[in-house]
Amino acid sequence: MHAPGADGTTPAAQLQRIVQAQESKDLLRFITCGSVDDGKSTLIGRLLWEAGALHDDQLATLQADSRRIGTRGGEPDYALLLDGLSAEREQAITIDVAYRHFSTARRRFIVADTPGHERYTRNMVTGASTAALAVVLVDARKGLLPQTRRHSYLVGLLGVRHVVLAVNKMDLVGHDQAVFEDIRLAYAELAGTLGLAAVQAIPVVAVAGDNITSPSKHMPWYSGPTLLQHLESVDVDSGESRQAALRFPVQWVNRPNPDFRGLAGTLASGSVRPGDAVRIVPSGQRSRVARIVSFDGDLAQATAPQSVTLVLEDELDVARGDVICSDAAPAQAASQFQATVVWMDSEPLLRGRSYGMRIGTASAVATVMPIRHRIDIHTLAPVAAERLELNEIGEVEIEVDRRVAFDPYRDNRETGGFILVDRLFHRTVGAGMLHFALRRGDNLHWQNLDVDRAARRQLNGHGSAVVWLTGLSGAGKSTIANLLAARLHALGVRTYVLDGDNVRHGLNKDLGFTAQDRVENIRRVAEVARLMVDAGLVVITALISPFRAERRMARELFAAGEFIEVHVDVPLALAESRDPKGLYRKARSGQLKNFTGIDSPYEAPESPELLLDAGSIPAPDAAERILQRLADAGVLP
């Protein structure tokens, strides 16, 4: 039994009151960014120290480590508070995003210390994606560097509207006001070109704490706020997310019993009350809010970013990924967009390759078509590009397989931002911002015709499908395709062979053999094959088609059972020994670049409908096995 406190409350009640007091404080998320060794980690460490956010054991460890390694002026090395990885200490750089939470009497803070090196652009994007303010550090001795431009560009791109320009290491330039003013004016010019309107410049000495939490006696000429004063008082929100139009991405449909159907999620922006008129996007259905259900019971109002369950007056067809909007100001819906993408994967972004796209709670299949240009991160100028490599930023056009709800990123970061995901391995490969819809598809409508696929199949007297032969050059794909077509023709089956070499004489004569051209080659052939299957034919493709992602894309164009993937498997040594066209010899001598199996990979199918060991099975027998597979599938007459 715990004794009550002086005010008569129990310890549990006192603890609850403390927790409630903390939760009632406004939360500011901010990042620090700058070039390597500008002092980002030191600044945050000093801020935590001065704000009293460290435990006794952290202080003791910091002092012991600082004595061990030795520091400038005998000051503790505050960077040790954040650089938690031994690799970082060895390299003297931050190589990942380090997050820290601290609180003052006026506000709670989550700060992200982001890497300074260009190689870790993706890490900075991760840290800045949820930040409302950025602290951009500049070494007073060096002034603005290319990294300053890069980080400031990313800050503006990601919608971070408030910037603190922290001019650090002022002690190493004699606390000279003229040095500070030159840097402040140069940055103001840069900020103007990037649209960064709210910039507060502060001269600091992070290691000594000058202008971190209290004014510096060494720089009496500076009369502005200290860093902590600015962080505590800056109005980064102004109620924008609460005052914006309602955006409620549906996360899941809650139906515990037949009499209750709730739509659960988190308000991305705006507020909602019972009786409000709403519109479901992208379907356009309309209704009114009947109830707002929360863990604590029904609410009279919900405001971003609360998590609640909405009950509508009408039982509509609403699912995960739909967005409940204010009827007076709904989100847009589209399937084609202009966007900016920050690429985060070691495998490049290729035009025509499909990726998983997640925007809010919605998921779709996205294809980049085309890459308009990439951004030269040093000059910020657009540069022509056919692909995006790791950490590169590009302006692209994106097409998704269905209409999704969105707002331009500049208007709403929650409904305008998205990520791209590798569809095979489910890793995040890119992050992006939607700018506007491309209305090309809005004027296109599918024309229904009386003579359809079923009618053509009936007239032909057999089914239709695509036999997709894939394998190394020299595996025997074209030979097998030719034999198979002859056997089908003898049976009265209408066929057509799309041979890899043949299509490059016409349909794909503008394509080379780079990775992006190979992707486009497969996309075009797959679309033609789909039309031919719709026409009632049995289509046989004989292409290397080296990438799993594109073969998956091709498969998804067809109905279940219409796509028969056949891996014509042969050891590389055997394929190279055949070499009927002399291609391997040229590739080995360096005369032929991007040749599959030599300097470009072949990704073997993981679960094809048919695996043919072309090293041991004669081509006629291989063709017979495919013929039997078609018979088993009910394609043959």
> Quick one: DSSP state of residue 121?
H
> Quick one: DSSP state of residue 78?
G
Q: Quick check: helix, strand or coil at residue 266?
A: strand
Q: Quick one: tokens of 178?
A: 């003229």
Amino acid 530 reads R
- Do the beta carbons of residue 610 and residue 626 sit within 8 Å? yes
Q: Respond yes or no on whether the N-terminal peptide bond of residue 305 is cis (omega within 30° of 0).
A: yes
Radius of gyration of the chain (CA): 31
> Quick one: DSSP state of residue 603?
-
- Do the beta carbons of residue 253 and residue 321 sit within 8 Å? no
Determine the distance from the C-alpha atom of residue 84 to the mean position of all C-alpha atoms in its chain, rounded to a whole number.
26
Q: Respond yes or no on whether the N-terminal peptide bond of residue 330 is cis (omega within 30° of 0).
A: no
Distance CA 24, CA 108 (A): 9
Torsion angle of alpha carbons 585, 586, 592, 594, nearest 10°? 0
In Å, what is the CA distance from 531 to each residue of 498, 528, 534, 555?
12, 5, 5, 14
b/e for 235-267, b at 16 or more Cβ within 10 A?
A: ebeeeebeebbbbbbbbeeeeeeeeebbbbbbb
Residue tagged active-site, from 35, 241, 478, 545? 545
- Classify residue 634 as exposed, middle or buried by CB count within 10 Å of its CB (0-12, 13-18, 19+): exposed
Torsion angle of alpha carbons 284, 285, 291, 293, nearest 10°? -60
Distance CA 420, CA 398 (A): 11
Q: Is 363 a catalytic residue?
A: no
What lies within 8 Å, CB to CB, of 405 at 6+ separation is: 249, 281, 282, 322, 323, 325, 331, 332, 333, 360, 362, 415
Residues in the chain, how many? 637
Distance CA 351, CA 378 (A): 24
What lies within 8 Å, CB to CB, of 23 at 6+ separation is: none
In Å, what is the CA distance from 590 to each residue of 177, 190, 418, 577, 586?
60, 46, 41, 18, 6
The residues that are catalytic are 545
